[in-house]
Structure 1
Amino acid sequence: MSDETNETNETTMRLQKALANAGVASRRVAEEMIVAGRVRVNGQVVTELGSRVDVASDLVDVDGTAIQFDQSKRYIMLNKPTGVVSSMRDDRGRPDLRQFTKDWDERLYNVGRLDADTSGLLVLTNDGDLAHVLAHPSFGVTKVYLARVRGRVTPATIARLTRGIELEDGPIAADKARLKDASSGSATGGGASSLVELTLHSGRNRIVRRMMAEVGHPVLELVRRQFGPLHLGTLPVGRTRELTKIERGALLTLSRQPDQENQ
């Protein structure tokens, strides 16, 4: 009994207990996972039930999905409305993200940015390390956008977007581009318009708008539907929700990849 009490008061504990505390599975099931070789600690498979981990520093994953031991971390998905700047305090007095963080005691920050006139998926978190990694341009997290653009987009234009175009700050190519539909009029002011889905890993400023303007189809409306492994789904505009356990694991796995590759 005293051993359990001492173990609870330390950041170092038996691996199966750490997994159970993190909500991965019961301790018995966690033991089965360990013996089956499904658990890695700092990139190395661990099968010994007596193994101990430091939950404050060791990186643990189960079946390749990262585990977060720190229960104080919050990961929130926001469907950001247009007209809101991606800042916790705007020096020009424009609507900012504070209105969406008031329900949480933790001090949350946005992972990356969306332009004020772009809506869609934005992640808010108090995990500074994750926010830094995922927002860093060199990391190149994949993002999927839906753009309503002016004019009728042709298959040739779609091919040009994936083949690559030249902008003032260098060449750029979409990872994927797809024409979703084309109409003879639009709700944004008449005239032909098209709906284009673009997948990019670039973090350059206003990149979708600049790409579409370059090929002759200025953006009328733009929404980000996906950020890495996260999908906006049916979350209404202006609403937030906490990420599910699976989503948190997928996001943490993505953020830890550079560390694992450098080991």
Structure 2
Amino acid sequence: SKTYIAFHKPRGVLSTMSDPEGRDSLAQYFGSRNERLFHVGRLDKESEGLILLTNDGHWANRVAHPSHGVIKKYLVECDRSIRDGELAQIRKGVSLDDGFARPESAYAKGRIVEIAIHEGRKHIVRRIVESADLKVQRLVRTAIGSIKLGELPPGRSRRLSDDEVRNI
């Protein structure tokens, strides 16, 4: 049977099912299951929030592949309040060493910026924010498509509903 899980990855946990160096990873939360799960996309070690796990390769590819345009939402806490000019720069998009990156939307309130983006290049949200001369203090993925992190505490998981699996 197919398994679909939403997990709140805590900060400091690697998005991998095995780490030869024995660092904290998804394996500590899901490694003892009798089914082989893999994570859909990744979050860097210092980021936290929603990560999906499944044993359904076809579904995982549909969710993760940029061509399907699944929007991911992030809350980014910066080291100081975001100025209008910096927010405008983030919204306009930025040239990074691996090409142009532009969020679908960006809103700021005080030190928090909410960014929605449909691609998943390495550290993309962090790099977009840092390109506006802001320092990222905390980065939380709050949604993948219509699947929301909600009140799920760090280190906890829940099964996705049939609707969530279908509608993403």
User: What TM-score do you get using the length of structure 2 for normalisation?
Assistant: 0.93
Larger of the two Rg values belongs to structure: 1
What letter is aligned with 1:208?
A: V
Aligned to 2:64: 135
Is the 2:6–2:160 contact (alpha carbons within 8 Å) kept by the matching residues of 1?
yes
Offset, 1:103? 6.7
Which one of the candidate residues 190, 212, 223 is aligned to 2:129?
212
The answer to whether 1:124 aligns with 2:53 is yes
Offset, 1:170? 1.5
Deviations 1:27-80 (CA, angstroms, capped at 9, x unpaired): xxxxxxxxxxxxxxxxxxxxxxxxxxxxxxxxxxxxxxxxxxxxx001000000
SS at match of 1:211: helix
Distance in 2, Cα, partners of 1:90 & 1:135: 22
Which one of the candidate residues 145, 164, 171 is aligned to 2:100?
171
Distance in 2, Cα, partners of 1:231 & 1:134: 14
Distance in 2, Cα, partners of 1:138 & 1:217: 30
Aligned to 2:15: 86
Is the 1:140–1:203 contact (alpha carbons within 8 Å) kept by the matching residues of 2?
no
The answer to whether 1:231 aligns with 2:160 is no
Aligned to 1:152: 81
Q: Quick one: higher RCO (CA 8 Å, sep 6+), 1 or 2?
A: 2
What letter is aligned with 1:195?
A: I
- In the alignment, structure 1 segments of 5+ residues that lack a partner are 1-71, 183-193, 252-263
Deviations 1:105-154 (CA, angstroms, capped at 9, x unpaired): 32111001000110000001000111123222333321000000122211
Aligned to 1:113: 42
In structure 2, the CA distance between the partners of 1:138 and 1:248, relative to structure 1 (3 Å rule), is: closer
User: What TM-score do you get using the length of structure 1 for normalisation?
Assistant: 0.61
What letter is aligned with 2:124?
A: I
What letter is aligned with 1:90?
A: D
The answer to whether 1:195 aligns with 2:124 is no
SS at match of 1:129: helix
Offset, 1:104? 4.2
Offset, 1:102? 5.0
- Cα RMSD (Å): 1.4
Offset, 1:224? 0.1
- In percent, how many aligned pairs have the same letter? 42
Aligned to 2:164: 247
Distance in 2, Cα, partners of 1:227 & 1:220: 21
Is the 2:93–2:100 contact (alpha carbons within 8 Å) kept by the matching residues of 1?
yes
Distance in 1, Cα, partners of 2:31 & 2:130: 37
The structure richer in helix per residue is 1
What letter is aligned with 2:54?
A: T
- In the alignment, structure 2 segments of 5+ residues that lack a partner are none
Distance in 2, Cα, partners of 1:242 & 1:102: 16
